[in-house]
Amino acid sequence: MLFSLSGHRVASDCRWSRFPSSKGGPRFNRTLIGPRKPFSACPMAAIEERQAVVIDGKACAKEIREEIAAKVEAMKSEMGKVPGLAVVLVGTRKDSETYVRNKERACTEAGIESFSSRLPEDISQEELLKVVEDYNSNDQVHGILVQLPLPKHINAELILDAISYEKDVDGFHPMNIARLALKGRSPLAVACTPQGCLELLDRHGVTIAGKRAVVFGRSNIVGMPVSLLLQQRDATVTVVHSRTPNPKEICLEADIVIAACGQAEMIQGDWLKEGAVVLDVGTNAVDDPTAKRGYRLVGDVKFSEAVQRAGMITPVPGGVGPMTIAMLLKNTLQSAQRSLMGDAI
C-alpha cells in the first residue's frame, strides 16, 4: 500500500481487496497516516482513527490497458488484424478535446488503430450521418464513438441510432440498453463508465450482493445503466435525482454510493454511512486561474470530508475517468474479436 502526499492511504494494487468494515475492521496506525483532522460533522470520525482507502483508478486502468494490449498483440500475430476505433468529435469543447486526445493515446498504447473525425461545430445532420455510415461500412473499424454532447441543431438520438449495433462500443444503442435491462439477456456492449464502476468494485473486493446502493443521477449514460448493473448483481438500488426530497437521508443508508449527478461537491461527508464505498463519477470543471488549463476538475462528492468517513473512495481526477477509457478499449477489442470470429449475435 502507498501513502499519498496528502496522507490518504492509496490502494496501489488494483486487486488489493482488504475492505475496512465499520466494525472490527483494521485500524490504521496514526503514525503512518499522519495526524488527522477531526471532522466536526461526524463525531464518530473523531473517535475512529480511520480514513478511506483512496482507490487508484489510474493504476487500475493502466493494468487493464496492459491486459488489453497483450490480447491485441495476440490477435495481430494470430490473425494479422488489429481492432479499430473511430471517434467522432463535433466542435471544439475543451473537455471533449481532452477526452478524445486521451482516448487516442490509450488506443495507440494498446495497439488499437485509431480513426478520428474532428468536425466543425456547424456541420449538418446529414453530413454527420454520412460520417457515421462510412464508419459503419468500414471493416477496419470495430467501434464507433460519437462524443457527446452534440451541438443543439443536431438530433443526438438520431445520430446514436445510426451507429450500427455491433459497433456501438459506448453501449448507448437502444438495443444494447434494452438487452441490459431485460433479465436473461445480455448486451453486446455495456456503457463504459458504468462498467468501469463495477470493475473498480470487483477489483477492490467489494461485495455487491445484498448491499444497499444509492445512485445519484438518472442519465442514459451513467445513472440508469449503473443502477441496472448493480441490480443485476443483487444490490438493492435507489436512484436519487433532482426531484428527490431527502437525498441525504437516503444516502446515509447506502453501503455503495455512485455519484453521477453532475453537481460539483454536492455529496458531503455527513451524507455518508461510515465505511461506505463511494465512486465519484462527477467531472465538473471549476475555474482556477492558478491551474495550467485555467480550470480544475472536482467530483460530485466533497472529497476532503468524504475521505474521513468512507471506507473506500475514488478521487477526481484519477478515479472513475481513466476506467471509462479502459472499458472503451475493452469493448472495442471484444467487438473486433466478435467480428473476426464471425460470432453469432
Ligand X SMILES: Nc1nc(=O)c2c([nH]1)NC[C@@H]1CN(c3ccc(C(=O)N[C@@H](CCC(=O)O)C(=O)O)cc3)C=[N+]21
Q: Bridge partners of 312?
A: 53, 277
Per-position DSSP letters for 43-55, written without gaps between them = HHHHHS----EEE
Nearer to ligand X, 171 or 269 (CB): 171
Decide if 147 is catalytic: yes
87 near ligand X, rule: CB under 6 A = no
Stretch that binds ligand X, among 72-80, 130-138, 260-268, 320-328 (CB under 6 A): 320-328
Residues 6+ away with beta carbon under 8 Å from 139? 339
Q: Which residue is nearest to ligand X (CB)?
A: 321
318 near ligand X, rule: CB under 6 A = yes
For residue 247, the tally of other CB atoms under 10 A from its CB is: 18
Taking CA 148 as the corner, what is the angle to CA 277 and CA 190, rounded to the nearest 5 degrees?
A: 50
Catalytic residue among 51, 56, 147, 330: 147
Measured distance CA(280)–CA(285) in Å, rounded: 14
Of residues 251, 241, 250, the one with CA closest to residue 276: 251
Of residues 104, 313, 103, the one with CA closest to residue 192: 103
Decide if 103 is catalytic: yes
Catalytic residue among 51, 56, 167, 170: 170
Decide if 287 is catalytic: no
Q: Which of residues 255-284 bind ligand X (CB under 6 A)?
A: 283
Measured distance CA(119)–CA(82) in Å, rounded: 25
Nearer to ligand X, 88 or 208 (CB): 88
Stretch that binds ligand X, among 48-56, 121-129, 265-273, 314-322 (CB under 6 A): 314-322
The 39-78 site mask, x for binding ligand X (CB under 6 A), equals ----------------------------------------
CB 240 within 8 A of CB 214: yes
170 near ligand X, rule: CB under 6 A = yes
Cα torsion at 41, 46, 49, 52 (round to 10°)?
10
Query: Quick one: which of 16, 99, 216, 303 contacts ligand X (CB under 6 A)?
Result: 99
Measured distance CA(77)–CA(112) in Å, rounded: 14
Nearer to ligand X, 21 or 108 (CB): 108
Nearer to ligand X, 33 or 266 (CB): 266
Phi, psi dihedral angles at 138 (to 5 degrees): -90, 115
Measured distance CA(239)–CA(245) in Å, rounded: 12
322 near ligand X, rule: CB under 6 A = yes
DSSP label at 270? G
Stretch that binds ligand X, among 1-9, 113-121, 232-240, 316-324 (CB under 6 A): 316-324
Query: Quick one: which of 51, 176, 227, 324 contacts ligand X (CB under 6 A)?
Result: 324
Shortest spacing between CB 74 and ligand X, in angstroms: 26
Q: Which are the catalytic amino acids?
A: 103, 147, 170
Binding site for ligand X (CB under 6 A): 98-99, 102, 145-148, 170, 192, 283, 297, 316-318, 321-322, 324-325
